Structure 1
Amino acid sequence: MAQLVKRAYKYRFYPTPEQAAELARTFGCVRLVYNKALEERTRAYTHEGRRVFYGETSAMLTAWKRSGEYDFLSQVSSVPLQQALRHLQAAFANFFAKRAKYPTFKSRKKSRASAEYTRSAFRWRDGMLTLAKMSAPLRIVWSRPLPEGAVPSTVTVSRDAAGRWFVSILVEETIGPLPPVEGVVGVDAGITALVTLSTGEKITNPRHERADRRKLAKAQRALARKAKGGANRAKARVTVARVYARLADRRRDFLHKVTTRLVRENQVIAVEDLTVRTMVKNHSLARAVSDASWRELRSMLEYKAQWYGRKVIAVDRWFPSSKLCSACGSLQEKMPLNVRTWICVCGVTHDRDVNAAKNILAAGLAER
């Protein structure tokens, strides 16, 4: 059954100098409003024992605009400023529901520079997007078309550390399920092989971080030599950010291709419920685990399966998938990481990862 979902389409764009200056001002104002509201909410809770909600912070914003100190807030669109307050409200809601940590202040250097515009703050006409306070539309590189007839409901403009500008356009889209298939697969995540399938196939980990490690180290050494606060240091920081951006882009593209293929070919996908946050604390594995991006892989599998009528089943992380013989079911006492193949008492020779994937599939189907 087709379903109506909200889906964001992200594109790169190239602002004019005037647009870049206007957006930079907006980013700064968004950060200021968020930080001041966070400061006021923290003060009220700490000293008065009361919670402050969105409505009160919105009234504060109006007062700040009328004050002589912060009257420059009136020079940018009010919608991104209000959206910053709504995001802060959501952050506090998540904190009090114990879904997240206490909100932190936004940093000019470390935080993502972005501004969110709702429908009243932009004009969408004939495939051209014009933001509030701007006279000309954004020069967007349409790498893929929006769904036919789609009307943006929210637009988020951002600039990454490498100096690239992006616009994320949120639309409502009707997505129909894929035709049912008989395929089912178990997926064992790894480092040498990004994933090993219960079919016996191993999808090699491209290890993008290792491929560009020398280039990254060179850029980081150049950054370390630059004097703090200088223009050359700012340029060197952008060079480092570009290497990281290249790594992230290539990794994300590869994960999309792998997860799309798995979802198209299989009706049920069983995965292991790994605790990536704990695994990266192991300094011997942290770099490799982070480069593999298992958490992002699973996230992609889950939302694509939901869109296209597939099912992802997470198997308990304590399930002994590597120690269990997929042929006879006997359990080995130990299975060190350096053991890649082993022979069961029943005489079957197992590849460690393929055997684990088969056991994950069997456990997933049992929970189905």
Structure 2
Amino acid sequence: MIRRQAYKFQLKPNPEQIASMKSFAGACRFVYNRALTMQSDIWRNGDRYIPYNKMAPWLVEWKSQEEMSWLSNAPSQILQQSLKDLDKAFNNLFSRRATFPSPKKKGKNDAFRYPTQRVKLDEGNERIQLPKLGWVRYRKSRSITGVIKNVTVSMKLDKWYVSLQTEAEVDEPSSQQSSMIGLDTSNIECITTSDSTDFLSQASLPKMERSLEKNIKRLRKKKRFSSNWVKQRHKVNRLLNRISNMRKDHFHKISTTLSKNHAIVVIENLDDATSLPKHPKSTKRFISNETYELKRQLDYKLNWNGGELVTVRERDDNLRPFSYDATSNHYGKLRAERILAAGHAVIACGGAELLGHPMKQEPSEDGISTAI
């Protein structure tokens, strides 16, 4: 099987390289927004959408114009990739997987992507060669395996990162475990399994969340776009990033432990949870968004280890939350056991997630069970 894996490292560029990367990101943003404006005008006039192979000549035309000649300073590959991103956004729109594409803004998703033709990686010296940037050093945290397919350079909180997507041919995995476990994620601060194992979040996280709330209140009291407002916004963004990284690290520890010790993990789709009636919709949405990252990690890690992730819809209306104390796991254990039982029923009776309940099996005349 083909395993796709991504590696992300922090770059250590010099001031000249930082200026060039900011210019490249701005050029990609300009190309994307200009092409989007032209496609929007075509859309309003009732004409057909222009695909990427017909958008690509626009770059040559724009570079030949004096007011946009600065686009020639950026590598042509990253500008082409920007048009491919727009083409993918419109294809998602036509397939009803997304809404109409929105323009890119400075400071949000500042990034550009290289194909691998002219990229060289020197892991021994911890550096990577990028077109029109030269050799850029990075902080190596692990070795890279597989063939590099594309390289993305991005900026977040004034720090630059490089992401490398690789592909490797590996043997079909087979799980070394045979156990099955249920996982309750209704309380994000204390994720509980059906065997009474608690995964408590970091002790410093509640303190950081209270600090975040205070800083958000301070931000609201300041005049928008003033110097103090900009400083306070950077402080809020740093806290948000810190909390997000702590959550991801916590989920990585949980998913690694479960994927190595169990063959099947059963988790609930909290979007349709019926045993949490006292939760407002906003709280349910927050819990669902927080656990999406955990589901994503469990899915690919179990797949790599030969396991399986089963998603069910727990429908026990008799369960009512009576305690959300992170130190108490009684309610979480009850829900995890119910989720595990629902997972057993789905696997044994051929249930489907979309049905919300396992399909019944009735014996046919020839003695073979038939799902109804």
2:77 aligned partner: 79
Aligned to 2:302: 305
Are the structure 2 counterparts of residues 66 and 367 from structure 1 closer, same or farther at C-alpha, using a change threshold of 3 Å?
Answer: farther
Q: Could you give the per-residue CA deviations for residues 117-140 of structure 1, whole angstroms, max 9, x where no partner exists?
A: 1113423346431111123x2120
**Superposed displacement of residue 70, structure 1:** 1.2
TM value normalised by structure 2: 0.82
Shift of 1:225: 4.9
Aligned match of 2:41: 43
* Contact 1:185 1:268 (8 Å CA) reproduced: yes
The Cα of 1:207 is off from its aligned counterpart by: 7.9
- Name the CA distance, whole Å, in 2 between partners of 1:126 and 1:181: 35
2:174 pairs with 1:168: no
The CA distance in 1 between the partners of 2:101 and 2:205, in whole Å, is: 30
Instruction: Please state if 1:352 is matched with 2:325.
Output: no
What is the DSSP-based 3-state SS (H/G/I as helix, E as strand, rest coil) of the residue aligned with 1:212?
A: helix
Instruction: Give per-residue Cα distances to partners, 1:167-224, cap 9 Å, x unaligned.
Output: 1011223445254212111222221654322223232344875331232234334444
Q: Secondary structure at the match of 2:195?
A: coil
Structure 1 runs of 4+ aligned residues shifted over 4 Å read 205-209, 276-281, 284-290
Q: CA deviation at 1:306?
A: 1.9
Matched, 1:117 2:101: no
* Cα separation, 2, equivalents of 1:269 and 1:289: 17
Amino acid at match of 1:239: K
Across the two proteins, how many residue pairs are aligned to each other?
338
> Aligned in 2, Cα 1:66/1:350: closer, same or farther, shift over 3 Å?
closer
Distance 1:217 1:351, change over 3 A: closer
Q: Which runs of 5+ in 1 are unaligned?
A: 324-333, 341-348
| Partner residue in 2 for 1:236 | 232
Residue 190 of structure 1 is aligned with which of 170, 186, 193?
186
Offset, 1:288: 5.4
Q: Partners of 2:273 and 2:226 in 1: how far apart?
A: 36
Alignment TM-score, normalising by the size of structure 1: 0.82
Find the partner of 2:320 among 330, 336, 342. 336
Residue of structure 2 aligned with 1:10, choices 8, 12, 34: 8
**Match of residue 63 from structure 1:** 61
The answer to whether residue 62 in structure 2 is matched with residue 27 in structure 1 is: no
Q: Which piece of structure 1 moves more, 191-200 or 163-172?
A: 191-200
Q: 1:213 to 1:350 in 2, by over 3 A?
A: closer
1:287 deviates by 5.1
2:155 to 125, 136, 159: 159
Q: Is the Cα contact below 8 Å between 2:175 and 2:307 reproduced in 1?
A: no
User: 2:268·2:311 contact (CA, 8 Å) conserved in 1?
Assistant: yes
The letter for the 2-side match of 1:357 is: I
Paired with 1:284 and 1:146, the residues of 2 have a C-alpha distance of 39
CA contact (8 A) 1:4 1:174 kept: yes
Give the structure 1 partner of residue 364 of structure 2: none
1:273 aligns with: 269
| Equivalent pair of 2:186/2:270 in contact (CA under 8 Å) | no
The one-letter code sitting in structure 2 at the alignment partner of 1:139 is: R
Query: For residues 5 and 131 of structure 1, do their structure 2 counterparts lie closer, same or farther at Cα, with a shift above 3 Å needed?
Result: same
Equivalent of 2:200 in 194, 199, 204: 204
Q: Equivalents in 1 of 2:299, 2:236: separation in Å?
A: 32
Match for residue 260 of structure 1? Answer: 256
AA aligned to 2:319 is M
Supply the distance in 2 between the matched residues of 1:120 and 1:281 (Cα, whole angstroms).
Answer: 51
Identity value in percent: 26
Shift of 1:51: 1.1
Inter-partner Cα distance in structure 2 for 1:283 and 1:244: 19
Aligned pairs (5 A) from 1:89-104: 89-104=87-102
- Pairwise CA distance, 1:56: 1.9
**Residues 1:89 and 1:281: Cα distance change in structure 2 (over 3 Å):** farther
How far has the Cα of 1:283 moved from its partner? 3.5
Q: Secondary structure at the match of 1:138?
A: strand
The 1:173–1:88 alpha-carbon spacing in structure 2 relative to 1, beyond 3 Å, is same
Supply the RMSD in Å over aligned alpha carbons: 2.8
Pair 1:239–1:268, CA change in 2 (3 A): same
Match of 1:105 in 2: 103
Q: Residues 138 and 89 from structure 1, CA distance in 2 versus in 1: closer, same or farther, beyond 3 angstroms?
A: same
